[in-house]
């Protein structure tokens, strides 16, 4: 029985009800003094609470699909994805051509060869936003043979609310990037890792909010400008990409589509395709319908000139809720925009799924910038 099946949920709910009734029924006898009675009360209360918690957890998981299967829950889903390139011909029609990307993960243990991760605060001169970030510099950055090299760079975004440190410690972006470069699957790349929640606790959806935080300007203009003046990183679309998961995935796609002259490629891991509007976002658009349309990626593809940038989107056949929207997005892309996809057989909206998508996604990104 699958983790999200009705049978598993039914068994959990039935167990919780039976244990609750049993506790009420047996309580008068168990209320008597004695070691066995105390142990019985403790055992029934513990079992009832575990059953109730399991039933609630299953209901929440079915609603939000954090985990798609038992293997996903236990971390046994380990297969990485395959990039499918949907080439657009001159007429704008989308054709499928499968192009596997080798995503092996050779790992080294010598700290002197893994590069450097610096925690810093990046102040935006245009947006006047200051946010904490982690900057990964690959080993080659410090090697004499590369001292005159301008490196490609990618902005890496968390979901909302997110923690930038998780990009280093949980999703392993620096280790994966180093391993892929060492295996000659991609060029060495600088990573600028941060969360898009630059005005906590508000979720700005990476919008330049009227009379509010100019998050898009910060991510699209300020960060590349500051980093290219602080490190040996090249400018413009030939050197810059952007990748993120969930809210960060939506932001990555939107920023590259809004600024194709600055970003050569973008990856949306488990992304959605229009800005959320809920209590966490507040009023993002202040009645400006043009701004609302600009935050709707499907509307942009259907009503604006396609951006000359490369886009990679991901989903799963079982577990993610964005599969239908992702397929619609792929069908809507027209030249000169280009789109690729990774669709795993299963996986929920969680770190384990994204860690399976990051290696081929970084290789894909590295092949399109630098």
Mean pLDDT, residues 289-311 taken together? 96
Report the pLDDT averaged over residues 176-204. Answer: 94
Alpha helices, H only, 157-268:
164-169, 173-182, 215-217, 223-230, 247-258
Q: Which residues, listed in sequence order, are joined to residue 301 by a DSSP beta bridge?
A: none
Q: What percent of the chain has pLDDT over 90?
A: 63
CB atoms under 10 Å from CB of 265, counted, come to 27
For the ranges 39-43, 142-146, 289-293, which has the lowest average pLDDT?
39-43
Q: Is 359 helix (H, G, I), strand (E, B) or coil?
A: helix
Nearest to 173 by CA among 260, 33, 269: 269
Tens of pLDDT, residue by residue over 222-277, are 999 999 999 999 988 789 999 999 999 999 999 999 999 999 999 999 999 999 99
pLDDT of 1 over the 70 cut: no
**Facing residues of 156 across strands?**
193, 243
* Residue 57: both structure tokens together: 């957890």
Which residue, among 253, 256, 259, has the nearest Cα to 274 in the 3D structure?
A: 253
Pair 129, 194: CB distance under 8 Å: no
Pick the CATH number of 84-368 from 3.30.450.20, 1.10.10.60, 3.30.70.260, 3.40.50.1820: 3.40.50.1820
What's the confidence (pLDDT) of residue 4?
61
Please list the residues that pair with 315 across neighbouring strands. Answer: 343
Summarised one tens digit per residue, pLDDT across range 84-106 is 655 544 333 333 333 333 223 33
- Domain boundaries defined on the chain: 6-64, 84-368
Q: In angstroms, how far is CA 259 from the centroid of its own chain?
A: 20
Tens digits of residue pLDDT in 21-32: 777 777 777 667
Assigned token pair, 358: 């990051």
Going from the C-alpha of 360 to that of each of 96, 185, 203, 267, 355, the distances in angstroms are 18, 9, 29, 11, 10
């Amino acid at each position: 029985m699958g983790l999200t099946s009705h049978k598993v949920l039914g068994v959990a709910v039935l167990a919780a009800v039976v244990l609750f009734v049993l506790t009420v029924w047996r309580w008068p006898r168990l209320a008597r003094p004695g070691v066995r009675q105390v142990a019985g009360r403790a055992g029934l209360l513990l079992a009832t609470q575990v059953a109730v918690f399991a039933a609630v957890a299953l209901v929440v998981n079915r609603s939000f699909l954090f985990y798609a299967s038992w293997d996903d829950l236990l971390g046994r889903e380990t297969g990485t994805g395959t990039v499918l390139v949907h080439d657009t011909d001159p007429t704008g029609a989308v054709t499928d051509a499968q192009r596997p990307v080798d995503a092996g993960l050779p790992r080294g243990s010598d700290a002197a060869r893994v590069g450097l991760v610096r925690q810093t605060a990046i102040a935006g001169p245009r947006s006047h936003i200051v946010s904490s970030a982690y900057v990964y510099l690959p080993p080659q950055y410090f090697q004499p043979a590369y001292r005159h090299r301008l490196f490609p760079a990618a902005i890496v975004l968390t979901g909302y609310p997110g923690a930038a440190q998780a990009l280093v410690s949980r999703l392993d972006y620096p280790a994966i990037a180093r391993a892929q470069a060492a295996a000659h699957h991609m060029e060495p790349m600088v990573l600028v890792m941060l969360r898009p929640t630059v005005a906590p606790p508000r979720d700005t959806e990476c919008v330049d909010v009227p009379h509010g935080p100019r998050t898009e300007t910060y991510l699209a203009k300020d960060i590349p400008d500051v980093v290219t003046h602080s490190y040996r990183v090249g400018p413009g679309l030939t050197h810059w990409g952007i990748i993120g998961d969930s809210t960060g995935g939506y932001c990555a796609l939107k920023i590259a589509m809004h600024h194709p002259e600055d970003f050569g490629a973008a990856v949306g891991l488990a992304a959605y395709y229009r800005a959320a509007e809920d209590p966490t976002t507040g009023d993002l658009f202040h009645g400006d319908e043009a701004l609302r349309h600009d935050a709707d990626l499907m509307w942009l593809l259907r009503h604006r000139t396609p951006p000359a940038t490369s886009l990679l989107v991901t989903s799963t056949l079982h577990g993610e809720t964005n599969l239908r929207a992702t397929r619609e997005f792929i069908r809507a892309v027209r030249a000169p925009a280009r789109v690729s996809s990774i669709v795993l057989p299963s996986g929920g909206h969680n770190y384990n799924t994204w860690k399976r998508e990051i290696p081929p996604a970084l290789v894909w990104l590295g092949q399109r910038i630098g």
